A and B are shown apart, each in its own frame.
Chain A
Amino acid sequence: MPKWGLSMKEGSVVSWLKELGDEIKKGETFVEIETEKVINEFESPENGILIKKCVEKDIKIPVGTLLALFGPKDTSSDDINKFILDFNSNFEKQAASNVESEELTKKVEINDININYVQMGSEENPSIVFIHGFGGDLNNWMFNQEKLSKSFNTFTIDLPGHGSSSKNIPQGDISYLSEVVSKFCETNDLKKINLVGHSLGGGICLSIALNNMELISSIILISPIGFGEEIDYEFIEEFIKADSRKELKYQLEKLYFNNEILTRDLINEVLKFKRLDGTTEALQKIMNGSLLLEKKQKEFLKDKISNLTCPITIIWGNDDKIIPVNHSKSLPKDINIKLINEAGHMPHIEKPNEINTIIQDTSI
């Protein structure tokens, strides 16, 4: 059972997508898993033949529990059972040593506000800083951070006004937000930084890179702002106004190609965030400061990218309903453009394996 995000403690199998004896390729989805927060398909980490399904459907099991076995087609059931027994006896001991999510979450004070963040990975490795978009938080990277922390020193942060970072922010414009994130990188002594930014976070990445070129190794922008006028302004305005589960669900569904991924708990998490004191004011400041001017995008960053010296990759979901995918067209040839099928505005959540591969291959 994989661990998706810090707070995931257990999950359950919704349905098996493959049968015993099927050959499964690395990256192919073979089982659908439900956690408190999401329902998503689990992509196989290896090639192999499915020889045993180890758990029943609809039963909640802890992260790390044996889910399925791949092996040679003719493996005897004795060998299978022995393996399971061995695994489970060791698993009990391991479960006790799992690091609690609270220990990984840290806070740092930057310019009189608190920034909440998670660091995963060895300090000896090159660093990646992930910056979420408007209304999101560091959990948006739940399918990406742990995977990439094996080879990189990864940081996910809650932007000012978001997640568990301070809500009483003085301003909401891009220069303020980038300044805070830059100082965050400075505080952690990061020198060769790979920046990954989504939507508003993409605009922030660009702004940081333009002002600190010597520190940035590469930039990956996922459906960023600043590459055209069009944006679903109604989504932004109504997202801020929404105060009930129904209203919020209606808006959040616009973010995804397949909105079955949106569970009741995921919607509740966003609702809880919006009900924190000061959140509405913070979001309004950022909407007016960074995102919208008279129903169109406020910032235009496209013509500044030619000033950058580091490699730039832009990722876009083909079915993005918030910022149109055609904003990725007509860009200078040396920019790497990756379009993702069957993905909306959140490809890092809907197609994490593809995104992780791009980040792994591009980051230096």
Chain B
Amino acid sequence: MSEKTFRQALNEALLQEMKKDENVIVIGEDVAGGAGANGEQDAWGGPMGITKGLMPEFGRERVIDTPISESAIIGTAAGAALTGLRPVAELMFVDFFGVCFDQIFNQAAKFRYMFGGKAVTPLTIRTMYGGGLRAASQHSQCLYPIFTHIPGLKVVIPSNPYDAKGLLVQSIRDDDPVIFFENKTLYDDLGEVPDDLYTVPFGEANFTREGKDVTLISMGKTVQLCNQVADELKKEKISCTVLDLRTLSPLDEDSILEAAEETGRVVIVDESNPRCNIATDISALICDKAFSSLKAPIKMVTPPHTPVPFSPTLEDMYLPNETKVKNAIQVTLDN
């Protein structure tokens, strides 16, 4: 066990699982870099270096650089999955899903169901999401609600290096299409990661803090934010439970309801835009199944219903932050 970055954890998951199972392949734009040219090979290892070192180890038959065509990348991967491989395809920014969504939601997501269980599609799609890097409206979105909406897709969103490696290994071993969301600002975060291969199951949320006053429900980057707020509020004698959802589909309903019933006050912190997002989905679930435990309306901390700004000042105002979370908590306590 040693401290590794989120990036290293993902790289290790791929390297070790590809060693274990020869059917695992990696496919995407510059996942190695340098294909078809005489210059440096494995120059990139992906735009953030996640897949670096894989091509020298496994060759270009298993680590495939593609043209800039998401529909080709995902279509190829979906077909490869149907016919026996376990592809890990990269959709570089989730913002680009528009050009390949049919392959994902109408093809890959439906095969098992429409072929009566006779087909499996063990496809993993890794994709970056999230704002904070001044990457502007078309490179900062959090579109996981759209994928969560589709039956047949699994949606995974790790918040730390340990979960990143375990959930990616689980995603590769899962026989269904999995969309693996990586927050682009988390890659340098450190955490204890075992050297061996291991898994983290889907549908199991993680309690990162336990308290009796307020429950904070979070996913991906917002988990860190909620932990920070919880630790600060402890000094003011307010104890918070923090739940890290880890997978949005399948969803750990039992833990959500347990966390809500424990405190009766819920604040959901979701970086995706407010209409039809995960916060609204969970809010409805809690109202439906744990209404009598609630002591206050459920508060949701989300950005406004606008594109992600490019201006740094505006982007900082757009994103969830400590003040917004604390204000929401206060409203539930004042009730």
Contact = CB atoms under 8 A, between A and B. Distances in A.
Nearest to B252: A244
A186 to B, nearest CB: 26
Contacts of A264: 207, 210
Contacts, number: 38
Interface in B245-275: none
Interface residues of A, number: 18
6 contacts: A102-B3, A167-B196, A268-B206, A275-B200, A276-B198, A277-B197
Interface string A224-266: 0000000000000000000111000000000000000000100
B201 A243 contact: yes
Contact of A244 (B192, B199, B204): B204
Contacts of A7: 192
A60 interface: yes
Contact of A102 (B2, B199, B207, B235): B2
Contacts of A60: 231
Given A164-B195, A245-B207, A277-B199, 19 more contacts: A7-B192, A56-B235, A58-B234, A58-B237, A59-B235, A60-B231, A164-B1, A167-B196, A244-B204, A245-B204, A272-B194, A272-B198, A275-B166, A275-B198, A275-B199, A275-B200, A275-B201, A276-B194, A277-B197
Interface string B202-234: 001011001000000000000000000001001
A142 to B, nearest CB: 15
B111 interface: no
B154 to A, nearest CB: 18
Interface in B165-205: 166, 192, 194-201, 204
B144 interface: no
Nearest to A243: B201
Contacts of A245: 204, 207
A122 to B, nearest CB: 27
B196 to A, nearest CB: 5
A278 B20 CA distance: 13
Nearest to B197: A277
Contact of B162 (A58, A244, A272): A272
B163 to A, nearest CB: 10
A255 B162 CA distance: 27
The 5 residue pairs across chains A and B that have the minimum distance between CB atoms: A277-B197, A276-B198, A275-B198, A276-B196, A58-B234
